[in-house]
Amino acid sequence: MNRIIAIIITLFLLCFDSTIVAQKSKYEVRAVWLTTIGGLDWPHRYARSSTSIEAQKQELIQILDKLQEAGINTVLLQTRIRGTVIYPSRYEPWDGCMSGIPGRSPGYDPLQFAISECHKRGMELQAWVVTIPIGKWNGLGIKNLKNQRVTTLKKIGADGYMSPEDARTGEYLSRICSEIVENYDVDGIHLDYIRYPETWNIKIPKDRARQYITDIVSRIHDAVKSRKPWVKLSCSPVGKADDLTRYYSYDWNAYNKVCQDAQGWLRDGLMDELFPMMYFRGNQFYPFAIDWSEQASGRIIVSGLGIYFMSPAEKNWDSSVIEREMHMLRSYKLGYAFFRSKFFTDNLKDIYDFTAKFNRHPALVPPMTWASKQTPPAPQNLRLEKQILKWEKADDTYYNIYSSSTWPIDIQNGDNLLAAKIATDYLEIEDTNMYYAVTAMDRYGIESRPSTIRQVSPKQDINVSLPCDGRKVTIPALYLQDSPNLTVAITSLTGVILSTATVRTNNVDVHQLANGSYILRTLSANGQSHRIGYFTINR
């Protein structure tokens, strides 16, 4: 879409009442950055005994429960912090945020625990890996890397950094990411600060500097994808890709300032997903968000929203700034990610309450259709036992549940999505007067055809007029979504069956019928029938 037209549409969106909610699409990334450095988001207590370990775990459970209730489906958990980590690593020491003592284990594996708890809730977990910065020059991360001599280190002020210009940096970071992917069931590796520090005096041509960063990304990509190709590779670039024709980035952009060719990484298949840090408002937000959308190359864009700027201690933004940005992102089918989790769960300026209403229904993370073309088989033996919907579970498969008061169930309508990414073989339901469909979903997020329960309990037929030209009557294509061969019955208005037919398209031959009004119904093998609608022949 022409950018000028897009901006006009965006300005129109700004006039909407912020209470208006529209979802419709079933795909939307809803994420938070969950920061562990210094225990900013989690943990707020150290783990040094069985009692304190349990307390630390319960704190995370409470956070994840709140995120789930607000419709969040992706957690970016800070896993590598500053040359230190929150899991037992062959390469780097424990960060002090978990036990309170740098280098000391908290007595359990926080990363494994977090993954398990996220997956229980149908939420993805991406391991957030801080790449180039490695903390204070006298810190544990720097000391460990000095001892290993794995790359060139550079001191800027009081802080240390891995050199992007040393090929060993990419090799070392790829080992860190490989270790996580090999040992944990993460849904993604999320690279942070994969760029030159803004304080770095870049003395080489910018094209060459960008290539150094891209080489690191490429090495990590190959390491991750060679092990588990379904694991997403994402990063959080600077929020403006570059200057636009009509809007200036004020010398703070990814491409020229810090040498991130993030849009090129999407185009070249090195990244599956971007979380640009769009902590701006007004004309510094909307045109640049549209630019990310236009340059997505079919991949996933999730705009980072700086909700911390609503804090009186920061810029004291009004909540409407974020709310309007969320509306705009949804209209462009872009996701959003809150920085940071605690500002969200603390309900700063009612942002949590707004989001919970904004997300009326669950949402799926968009499928990685560029990585796999295979469709998993539909769930088998779908049945309802009392108030529990059951099916046969396949290995390494998740399930999505759809519910509707009308038949057939439109599984493309996000309003019908009842539960997402279920890892079990059952779901307890409340209303048996609804129709239900279940799809299987593989690790790439690709869904199967739905398995359906046509009629859970008797329902009132809905009068639907079906198009008829006197020779054929057309039924909604959705009736064929779960069966390529649909058996239908044509009846009189009094219910007498006049003929039956098996159809493979959404047209039913009625040329042999006389003028008049008729009813078209589905007909199952066990004799169950459901009214599709009525039609009239008037030749």
Gap between the Cα atoms of 316 and 290, Å rounded: 25
CB atoms within 10 A of CB 106: 23
Specify the residue for token string 């809730």.
121
pLDDT tens digit sequence for 9-62: 445 454 544 444 566 799 999 999 999 999 999 999 999 999 999 999 999 999
CATH annotation of 472-537 = 2.60.40
Q: What torsion do the CA atoms of 336, 337, 341, 344 make, to the nearest 10 degrees?
A: -20
What single-letter DSSP state applies at residue 377?
P
CATH topology identical between 3-129+167-358 and 380-453? no
Q: What is the pLDDT, as a whole number, of residue 492?
A: 87
> What does the pLDDT read at residue 405?
85
pLDDT digits (tens, 9 = 90+) for 502-521: 888 888 999 999 998 899 98
Residues with Cβ < 8 Å from 509, sequence gap 6 or more? 471, 472, 501
Structure tokens at 512: 């042999």
Q: Alpha-carbon torsion 526, 382, 449, 22, what sign?
A: positive
Burial of residue 137 (CB within 10 Å: 0-12, 13-18, 19+) is middle
Task: Say yes or no: domain 380-453 is CATH 2.60.40.10.
Answer: yes
Work out the number of other CB atoms within 10 angstroms of the CB of residue 416.
21
To the question of pTM greater than 0.75 for the whole model, the response is yes
The angle formed by the CA atoms of residues 491, 494 and 498, to the nearest 5 degrees, is: 25
**CATH classification for the domain delimited by 3-129+167-358, as one of 3.20.20.80, 3.40.630.40, 3.20.20.70, 3.20.20.150:** 3.20.20.80
Residue range 127-138, pLDDT digits in tens: 999 999 999 999
User: Whose CA is closest to 102, among 151, 135, 139, 55?
Assistant: 139
State residue 172 phi and psi, 5-degree precision. Answer: -70, -45
Domain boundaries, the chain: 3-129+167-358, 380-453, 472-537
> Residue 25: which residues within 8 A CB-CB, separation 6 or more?
330, 333, 363, 414
Q: Coil, strand or helix: which one is 191?
A: strand
Average pLDDT for 379-401: 94
Whether residue 345 is predicted with pLDDT greater than 80 in this model: the reply is yes
Q: Alpha-carbon distance 438 to 449, whole Å?
A: 9
What is the pLDDT at residue 417? 97
Query: For residue 155, which of 199, 205, 193, 189 has the smallest C-alpha distance?
Result: 199
Over the chain, what is the mean pLDDT? 92
Task: Report the distance separating Cα 46 and Cα 104, nearest Å.
Answer: 11
pLDDT at 407: 81
pLDDT above 70: residue 335: yes
Tell me whether residue 202 is exposed, middle or buried, using C-beta atoms within 10 angstroms of its C-beta: 0 to 12, 13 to 18, 19 or more.
middle
Beta carbons of 88 and 105 less than 8 angstroms apart = yes
% of the chain surpassing 70 pLDDT: 92
